[in-house]
């Protein structure tokens, strides 16, 4: 797979070049440059492919552990949401605004409207202001993980 050094794909979130992508024909975000001359393409050589293959074999147990944790976390989050919804409805039904006991401290937060700046609109309508008010913040490196369906 040819890697793109530019922004990652907004659809698959991978750093792959559009020119090898099955979705290119129908994708509105597809890149029209040529990877041979765009200066952004990285062609993995055989040595790198072998290194990746060895890395995958060495870390398969970690991959499986991460997958299991992600699945457990999703299930726990879904259960947490269902239980909180249940409690919220019960508090609303009984007109209770707060509970503080030896197990939990619960505060009922009523429905509200949050106002946020539409940064995309500001960038579109006032690009100069957006540029002047943009600050660069260093971010630590991290990895993004997507658990494949049915794995």
Cα(129)–Cα(116) distance, rounded to whole angstroms? 17
CB of 20 to ligand SF4, least distance (A): 8
Subset of 58-77 contacting ligand SF4 (CB under 6 A): none
- The DSSP bridge partners found for residue 100 are 105
Alpha helices by DSSP H, listed for the chain, are: 46-58, 60-94, 119-125, 127-132
Nearer to ligand SF4, 16 or 67 (CB): 16
Window 10-29: contact mask with ligand SF4 (x via CB under 6 A): -xx---xxxx-x-xx--x-x
Cα(78)–Cα(72) distance, rounded to whole angstroms? 10
Nearer to ligand SF4, 13 or 76 (CB): 13
Indicate the burial class of 147 (C-beta count within 10 angstroms; 0-12, 13-18, 19 or more).
middle
- CA 57, distance to chain mean position in Å, is 26
Window 119-138: contact mask with ligand SF4 (x via CB under 6 A): --------------------
CB of 119 to ligand SF4, least distance (A): 22
Tell me if 43 contacts ligand SF4 by CB under 6 A. Answer: no
Tell me if 33 contacts ligand SF4 by CB under 6 A. Answer: yes
Q: How many angstroms separate the Cα of 102 from the Cα of each of 88, 91, 95, 98, 113?
A: 19, 18, 21, 14, 32
- Given the rule CB under 6 A, which residues bind ligand SF4? 4, 6, 9, 11-12, 16-19, 21, 23-24, 27, 29-31, 33-35, 38, 40-41
């Amino acid at each position: 797979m040819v890697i793109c050094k530019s922004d990652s794909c907004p659809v698959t979130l991978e750093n792959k070049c559009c020119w090898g992508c099955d979705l290119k024909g129908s994708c509105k975000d597809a890149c029209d440059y040529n990877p041979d001359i765009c200066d952004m393409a990285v062609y993995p050589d055989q040595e790198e492919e072998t290194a990746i293959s060895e890395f995958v074999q060495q870390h398969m147990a970690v991959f499986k552990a991460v997958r299991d944790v992600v699945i457990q976390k999703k299930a726990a989050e879904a259960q947490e949401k269902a239980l909180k919804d249940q409690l919220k409805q019960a508090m609303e039904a009984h007109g209770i605004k707060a509970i503080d006991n030896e197990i939990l401290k619960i505060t009922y937060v009523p429905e509200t409207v949050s106002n946020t700046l539409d940064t995309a609109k500001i960038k579109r309508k006032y690009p100069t202001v957006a540029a002047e008010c943009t600050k660069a913040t260093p971010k630590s490196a991290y990895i993004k993980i997507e658990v494949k369906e049915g794995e």
